Amino acid sequence: MEEVKAERVGIMGGTFDPIHYGHLVAAETAREAFSLDKIIFVPAGIPYFKEKTTPARHRYLMTLLAIMSNPYFEISRVDLDRGGVTYTVDTLTDLKKGLPSETKMYFITGADAILEIQNWKSPGEVLSMAEFIAATRPGYSLENLSRALGPLAAEFQERIHILEMPPMGISSTEVRQRLAKGRSVRYLLPETVITYIHNEGLYGTSQAR
C-alpha cells in the first residue's frame, strides 16, 4: 500500500490592515522554498499588540480578494470566529483540529517577531505545534536567536528556519498613511484591494477614486 505523504501547510497570520504585496511575496517565497502544499492566511481577530484596527469583516474581505488568484492560497476565519484577543497558540490549536493528524504546520512570521517569542503566550507550546519560518531581509542577522529563545533554545531552535526575502520596504502602516493623505498605493497592494478600500471609504479615503 502506497504511503500517504504528509501535507506541509504554511500558516500566515497577521492583522492584514491592509494586506499588501509584502505579505503575498513572503507567503509565495516560503511556499516555494519549503515545498509547502498550501498557505492558509489567518486574519487576526483582536491583535493583542494593537489597540485599534479596521473592523474584521473588512480585513477578511481584503485578504480574500488579495489571495483569490493563487490556487495555493486559502483563508481561515478561526481567529475571527473565536472572538477575544488573538494569540498564536490558539490559532495553531484551532487549525490543527481541522487538519489531518500527520500534517506538518509551518508558521510564517517576521524575523523581528521571532526575537520576541518568549513574550508570546505559551511559547513552548507554540514551537512544539509548528515549525517557524522567519522571513528576513538580506543581510539581517539572527545571531541573537539563541539568546532570544533563552531556555527554549536547546529544544526548539532547530524548528526555526530563516527565509531571506527580496527587499520590498512595504508596511501596512505606510499604506494607511499614504491612503489618508490621498497618495497613490498602486503597486503596493493588489488592485482588487485598492478598489475595495475606496469603495468602502477605508483609511480616510472617499468613495470616489
**Domain annotation covers residue 16:** yes
Instruction: Give 95-131 pLDDT, tens digit per residue.
Output: 999 999 999 999 999 888 888 899 999 999 999 999 9
**Domain annotation covers residue 186:** no
**Domain annotation covers residue 196:** no
Instruction: Give 159-198 pLDDT, tens digit per residue.
Output: 999 998 887 788 999 999 999 999 999 999 999 999 999 9
For residue 29, the model assigns a pLDDT of: 96
CATH classification at residue 26: 3.40.50.620
Parent domain of 111: 8-168
- Counting other chains too, the contacts that 119-128 makes at CB distance below 8 Å and 24 or more residues apart are 120/87, 120/88, 120/89, 121/48, 121/87, 121/88, 121/89, 122/87, 122/89, 123/152, 124/152, 124/155, 124/156, 125/89, 126/88, 126/89, 126/92, 127/152, 127/155, 127/156, 127/159, 127/160, 128/156
Instruction: Give 13-42 pLDDT, tens digit per residue.
Output: 999 999 999 999 999 999 999 999 999 999
For residue 88, the model assigns a pLDDT of: 96
- Predicted confidence band of residue 208 (pLDDT cuts 50, 70, 90): very low
- Cβ(45)–Cβ(154) below 8 Å: no
For residue 207, the model assigns a pLDDT of: 56
- Cβ(142)–Cβ(134) below 8 Å: yes
Task: State how many domains the chain has.
Answer: 1
How far is residue 132 CA from its own chain's centroid?
Answer: 12
